[in-house]
Amino acid sequence: MTNFNPLSKILDDNRLTGPNYVDWKRNLTIVLTAKKLNHVLTTDPPVLLGADATDEQHEATKKWHEADDVAKCYIFASMTNVLQKQHEGGPTAKDMMVNLKEMFG
């Protein structure tokens, strides 16, 4: 992982291999909290908006999905290649974390 910020070094130095899941998750939480992205691990994605949705609702939905995409990038970048392949196509960061907890937690 390119160290484009000091926090990413935490994840780079502590890549998820499986047995280190608890430590990795703690470090991921630190990084996502500092980047104001941790909410995507604790909230469900916004519901599909109807035709009568406001601009504010569209913007909130867009921001949630952008935050989820960045969180997924942090998760993918901080795990082994084998784990990356196993989680390709995961719908949300929260879903990925539920799966990883089932595997290693």
Condensed to tens digits (0 to 9), the pLDDT of residues 63-98 reads 999 999 999 999 999 999 999 999 988 799 999 999
Residues in the chain: 105
Span 28-47, average pLDDT:
94
Q: How many CB atoms lie within 10 A of CB 92?
A: 19
The answer to whether residue 67 sits within a structural domain is: yes
Q: Is 1 among the domain residues?
A: no
Residue 95 lies in a domain: yes
> Does some domain include residue 72?
yes
Q: Confidence band (pLDDT; 50, 70, 90) for 4?
A: low
Q: Looking at residue 48, what is its pLDDT?
A: 80
Query: How many domains is the chain built from?
Result: 1
Percentage above 70 pLDDT, the chain: 96
